[in-house]
Chain A
Amino acid sequence: MSAIVHFFQWCDSAAISQAIRNSRVAFPIIENFHLFALTVLLGSLVVVALRQFGLVYQAQLISEVATALRPWNRWSLAVMLTSGILLFLSEAMKCYGNIPFRVKMFFLFFALLFQFTIYNRIVQKEGASAPLGGKIAAAVALCLWFGVGLAGRAIGFLG
């Protein structure tokens, strides 16, 4: 318990955290990038899921749609994590006692785990149509990532 609290205190007092807190515009600018990346990350996820459900782009294989959007998915995730870490650092002690933050980290952990161990491999193998298991995986991925977004928004409201 005390090790965790010390880690959060250390994050909160880091030079970069103070720099973000002392700037009037840094936090809003970083949060804007967090939001652009959310749009691209969830957007690319939704398109692949729609394809797996057989609702769009039937002329392309599922793996083709996933491959076309993969760089957008990866880069938006990179921006998401970078901006997210900066936002966290600047208010680490606020996050420490914040229930939605904990829920968000829970969802984030499982969203990343599911995507990189299971989901990416599934879509990479799928052709013209997704079996039931693939559709369920798409729904699980959507729930996990939208869960991250939902809990993330709640950090601000229930802070």
Chain B
Amino acid sequence: MSILSMCQWLQDTTIGTSIRESIWVFPIIETIHVLALSISVGLLLVSDLRLMGYIMRRRPSSEIYEQIKPWMFVGFGIMTVTGIFLFWCQAVKAYNSIFFRAKVVLLVLAAVNALTFERGIYRRVDKWDNALVPPMEARLAGWVSLIFWVAIITCGRTMAYTF
């Protein structure tokens, strides 16, 4: 079974069809997906800016990151759930969209960047926690994260124009 036929099957399921054909459900899910950007990427921005050494420099980097993390995860949880439903109801169009494919690749890269940070320089955070400007590796993780998320938002918004 090819990926395309799996996408076709997925959007032909009862859930896929009913979301697509409903007047209100699709717009409501998409609106939540857009507004939850504020509590996913919006909160991540604060943590990334601390890693880059731009804001809240007098507080430890780990404090800024760890305290916002649960709320950030709530945001990314909402993004994931609503994103899955949006894909579900128009899987074929998404599959055929270059912007959707780019978005998936960028999401994977953003996750790799986050994991590299957690498993790498963040393991030794006690050595640089109070530094006004964190070490290069941490600053880079912050920059890469922001660049990826700007690109992900761009792909997400632009794919809708091509549908």
Contact = CB atoms under 8 A, between A and B. Distances in A.
Interface of A: 28, 31-32, 35-36, 38-47, 50, 55-57, 59-60, 65, 68-69, 72, 146, 149-150, 153-154, 157
B46 A69 contact: yes
Nearest to B150: A36
Interface stretch (B36-44, B88-96, B124-132): B36-44
Judged by DSSP, the binding face of A is helix
Contacts of B7: none
B107 interface: no
B68 interface: yes
A46 B55 contact: no
Interface residues of B, number: 28
B120 interface: no
Contact of A43 (B31, B38, B59, B154): B38
Contact of B46 (A43, A59, A153): A43
Interface of B: 27, 30-31, 34-35, 37-39, 41-43, 45-46, 49, 55-56, 59, 63-64, 67-68, 71, 150, 153-154, 157-158, 161
B42 A39 contact: yes
A56 B153 contact: no
Judged by DSSP, the binding face of B is helix
Contact of B67 (A42, A46, A57): A57
Given A36-B150, A43-B43, A46-B43, A69 B55 contact: yes
Given A28-B161, A60-B56, A153-B30, A35 B153 contact: yes
B68 A32 contact: no
A57 B46 CA distance: 12
Given A43-B43, A153-B31, 8 more contacts: A32-B153, A39-B45, A41-B38, A42-B35, A47-B46, A60-B56, A146-B35, A153-B27
A46 B71 CA distance: 10
Given A32-B157, A43-B41, A47-B43, A59 B63 contact: yes
Given A32-B158, A47-B46, A150 B150 contact: no
B39 A43 contact: yes
A55 B42 contact: no
Contacts of B38: 38-39, 41-43, 45-46, 149
Contacts of B158: 28, 32
